[in-house]
Amino acid sequence: MNVSFTTDELAFRDEVQAFFRDEFPRDILDMQDQAIPLTRDDVVRWHKCMYEKGWAAPNWPQEYGGTGWSPVQKYIFANEQAGANAPDFLAFGINMVGPIIYTFGSKEQKQRFLPDILQFNTWWCQGYSEAGSGSDLASLKTRADLDGDHYIVNGTKTWTTLGQYADWIFCLVRTNTDVSRRQEGISFILIDLNQPGVTIKPIVLMDGEAEVNEIHFDNVAVPVENLVGEEGKGWTYGKLLLQHERTNIAGVARSRNRLMRLKAQTAKSIRGAAPLADNRVFMRKVAATEVELKALEYTELRTLASISSGKAPGPESSILKVAGTELTQRIDALIVEAAGYYALPYVRDQYSPDFPPHERIGSGTETMAILQYLNHRKVSIFGGSNEIQKNIIAKHVLGL
């Protein structure tokens, strides 16, 4: 595959580099470099900065506010975004529900929801998984019963990432139980979380953060106009959304940047110790990871080309998801190994912007290493567990 750049593409790369250097909020980049968690306001602010630049939706059609970039431009942008250590787009609005709405939604839904998603005026979360209905998503039990001009929703969604910040949730719900296949009774609806009957309960993870939540629906009234597409077609829409999610989960550009930073660290003598670059066993692990990451990059480029031509990500998104998440976890392990003792201590207060930097234990990337390692145990599970993805690959790619 030819990945050489034309003169125009090089000029675009320079423009993106200049944007992240000169226009992107500097304090947010500094927080990223120091491994200081971003607040909700920080996330909203930098998304709005991208919107003002016109770069908030790289994969959307231009008619809905997308960039109109070529596959190579998208590739360049992802690399420069990662290279600047800028945050990733929050996927739920831009990369997940947005494409479902502009593909299957009504004219009224597009007019109502897409501008706010693009401008990040609305924070979205995803309501798919339930207790006992994760990888076997077709077994979900949250019901939406039609009552006049509303659906009455009852049930519980779990592992809802950042649901504590969200204004709206897109959900797969069961609207019909009298079907021959469980998938045929599932619909895709949009629910305002700021209403009676909605309860959000945080779930504290191993890293000490309440990143995910349970969201309970107790007789929540949802207008019928919030049904996306046709009733009973939610499984079809949900599968398309998951293909987009799996492509994003791969995180090739982000992994490449993390690996480059690790290699730069190995070349230095830290605290008087010999550079890790002198450790051939460790460097062989780094080299092997880098080779696999380069191979995965070409699969990502093929997927990007498919999306840009108007197609949805195909079963190759499952390959990206499996290989990408395994590489993410392998890089986590390398970073922890490189940090050594300094990966162990963690004092939450030291990541406050007001905490004196000279009093921190180790660098932010070192002391956060083990927390990131623990947090990323989940990446091979969410978006469809890797075991399920291997079944998809066997059936739809290998034809087994």
- pLDDT tens sequence across 19-65: 999 999 999 999 888 777 889 999 999 999 999 999 999 989 999 99
Q: Give me the pLDDT at residue 104, please.
A: 95
Q: Do the beta carbons of residue 91 and residue 246 sit within 8 Å?
A: no
Strands 212-223 and 124-127: unpaired
Report the pLDDT value the prediction gives residue 377, as an integer from 0 to 100.
85
Cα 257 from chain centroid?
Answer: 16
The CA radius of gyration of the chain, in Å to the nearest whole number, is 22
- Domains in the chain (CATH in brackets) are 7-89 (no CATH), 124-232 (2.40.110.10), 250-397 (1.20.140.10)
Q: Could you give the residue numbers annotated as active site?
A: 245
Residue 323 DSSP symbol: H
> What one-character DSSP code corresponds to residue 272?
T
Specify the pLDDT at position 128.
92
Task: Evaluate whether 87 touches 38 at the Cβ level (below 8 Å).
Answer: yes
Question: Residue 331 pLDDT > 90, yes or no?
Answer: yes
Q: What is the pLDDT of residues 75-111, one digit of tens each?
A: 899 889 999 999 999 989 998 999 999 999 999 999 9
Mean pLDDT, the chain, rounded, equals 87
Label residue 144 by pLDDT band (50, 70, 90): very high
pTM comes to 0.84
136 — pLDDT class (breaks 50, 70, 90) = confident
Task: Categorize the per-residue pLDDT at 370 as very low, low, confident or very high, splitting at 50, 70 and 90.
Answer: confident
* 219-269: pLDDT as tens digits: 999 999 999 999 999 998 887 776 655 556 677 888 988 898 888 888 877
pLDDT at 394: 86
Task: Determine the straight-line distance between the first and last CA of the chain, rounded to whole angstroms.
Answer: 27
Please give the share of the chain, as a percent, with pLDDT higher than 90.
49
> 145-154, 164-173, 206-215, 341-350 — which is least confidently predicted?
341-350
- Which residues pair with residue 156 across a beta bridge? 216
Cα separation, 317 vs 321, in Å, equals 6
Query: Which is nearest to 151 in space by CA: 126, 123, 176?
Result: 176
pLDDT over 80 (residue 186): yes
Q: What is the mean pLDDT of residues 345-374?
A: 69
Q: Residue 275: pLDDT band by 50, 70, 90 thresholds?
A: confident
The answer to whether residues 253 and 81 touch, using CB atoms and an 8 Å cutoff, is yes
